[in-house]
Structure 1
Amino acid sequence: MSANLLTLSGVHTHIGAYHILHGVDLVVPRGQLTMLLGRNGAGKSTTLRTIMGLWQASQGRITFAGRDITALATPQIAALNIAYVPETMGIFSDLTVKENMLLAARSARRASQMDEARLQWIFSLFPAVEKFWNHPAGKLSGGQKQMLAVARAIVEPRELLIVDEPSKGLAPAIINNMIDAFAQLKASGVTILLVEQNINFAIQLGDSVAVMDNGRVVHSGTMQALADDKVMQRSLLGLAL
């Protein structure tokens, strides 16, 4: 079994006339939390969308658990136990929190068929999901919607969780709750790929890191090594962690 669960090799992505990714090489080690960092417009979100098949790679190869998924459709990729939380969260505002969760629970046709033990675990991670179980999701705050988006992604066991900027726009207390939740998810054995702008979030959670610029991965290594190297931080990110 490969140490890397997900590998991108020379991946290019075109969106219309625009060439966004220019040969992305990225590895996501099995059982680790990998941070994908970079300035705005570096290509991070496009990389996630290309992995999920929402945008098709025009060149290169994407493998998951040893299987080439480059040309698969998004539903086929999701069926491999890969969950994706986009930056927009994708919440169905007119449905209740319970209905949003049920939609993601492929093995259940009604709420009573959802795994009760897993739900209780999710409620321990995100108490707001339980508190607002029967409320319309559109009435939740931004932080509560983000909790619901992640909770929905893990309502069934996933081998890989991909999340785009989970702390964006959240209050510090909610960010700390997110950090705790992702730490527990990682401890449970889930492999995680996170795009993040909150550097404190990245330092506390990241095992490995890849930094993107101009549609390429320009640095990869351990999160700790990047956190300890102020010169590298300024060179790659224009800031100090």
Structure 2
Amino acid sequence: MAESILSLSGVRADIDQYHILHGVDLEVPAGELTVLLGRNGAGKSTTLRTIMGLTTVTQGKVRFRGEDITGQPTPRIARKGIAFVPENMGIFSLLTVRENMVLAAVDGPMDPARLDWVFDLFPPLKKFWNRAAGNLSGGQKQMLAIARAIIEPRELLLVDEPTKGLAPAIINDLAGAFEQLKQQQVTVLLVEQNFNFSRRLGQSAAVMNDGGVVWSGQMTELADNDDLQHELLGLGLGEHQ
């Protein structure tokens, strides 16, 4: 396994009076796509938000490239090279695709070569460049959300349930884009409920339950073991389309 770019050690986090994370231990290998799996309410989305400093850590450490980033402000964490695509996508509906992308390029004008690369990943964005983002389809909005996160080089991309509510054809397009990101060795931590999508893309995997990681390893190990899938997730990956 590659060296970890991100590690969580004994991370506990609360939201209001609720204890959500109960000692999360997680390693994210550099240059790989890691999938974070688990039932609804297991703590997957909270884990991503905690990494970004959006949920307060009450115990444990979050380390990025060996540096303790626990408790640092979210803008400082982002400037270290971590991008976050939340489940609600976080785009500006009243602004055009172009304006959304310009705002995301915080370090200055967009690099034309990198923008062309993004257009290769997500061709509809070029077609609808001057369209209000709120008028895009659900799949196109998701493409825009991911494009905003990668318009500048990032060392780590956190993505929360990108396929939720999307049609199979759009999911397939997204999978193709993530395959290209993998070829570029972009490190991705992906929270996902679509297990076939996860099996197709994941190199490493971790399974959460009740606010903690209960299993981690290679995705092939999980994908090839129906008994393990049922034990950890309650059903097999192959039972989902």
Q: TM-score range by the shorter chain?
A: over 0.9
Give the aligned partner of residue 138 of structure 1. Answer: 134
Which secondary structure does the structure 2 equivalent of 1:197 belong to? coil
Alignment length (residue pairs): 236
Cα drift, residue 189 of structure 1: 1.8
Instruction: Please say if 1:124 is aligned against 2:120.
Output: yes
Regions of 4+ moved over 4 Å: none
Quote the Cα distance in structure 2 between the aligned partners of 1:73 and 1:125.
Answer: 31
Cα drift, residue 15 of structure 1: 0.9
Q: What per-residue deviation string (whole Å, max 9, x for no partner) do you get for residues 36-94 of structure 1?
A: 00000000000000000001111000000010000100000000111000000001001
Give the aligned partner of residue 73 of structure 1. Answer: 73
In the TM superposition, 1:1-241 aligns within 5 A as 3-108=3-108, 113-241=109-237
Q: What per-residue deviation string (whole Å, max 9, x for no partner) do you get for residues 148-193 of structure 1?
A: 0001100001100000001111111111111111111111121000
Quote the Cα distance in structure 1 between the aligned partners of 2:107 and 2:68.
Answer: 26
Quote the Cα distance in structure 2 between the aligned partners of 1:152 and 1:185.
Answer: 14
Cα drift, residue 16 of structure 1: 1.1
Amino acid aligned to 1:13: A
Cα drift, residue 106 of structure 1: 1.2
Quote the Cα distance in structure 1 between the aligned partners of 2:217 and 2:204.
Answer: 6
Quote the Cα distance in structure 2 between the aligned partners of 1:129 and 1:65.
Answer: 32
Q: Which runs of 5+ in 1 are unaligned?
A: none
What TM-score comes out, normalization by structure 1 length? 0.97
Quote the Cα distance in structure 2 between the aligned partners of 1:198 and 1:147.
Answer: 17
> Pairwise CA RMSD of aligned residues?
0.8
Amino acid aligned to 2:74: T
Quote the Cα distance in structure 2 between the aligned partners of 1:82 and 1:160.
Answer: 5
Which secondary structure does the structure 2 equivalent of 1:166 belong to? coil
Amino acid aligned to 1:166: P
Q: Percent identity?
A: 65
Quote the Cα distance in structure 2 between the aligned partners of 1:78 and 1:105.
Answer: 12
What TM-score comes out, normalization by structure 2 length? 0.97
Amino acid aligned to 2:159: V
Cα drift, residue 107 of structure 1: 2.1
Which secondary structure does the structure 2 equivalent of 1:138 belong to? helix
Q: What per-residue deviation string (whole Å, max 9, x for no partner) do you get for residues 21-48 of structure 1?
A: 0000000001110000000000000000
Quote the Cα distance in structure 1 between the aligned partners of 2:105 and 2:148.
Answer: 8
Quote the Cα distance in structure 1 between the aligned partners of 2:77 and 2:23.
Answer: 21
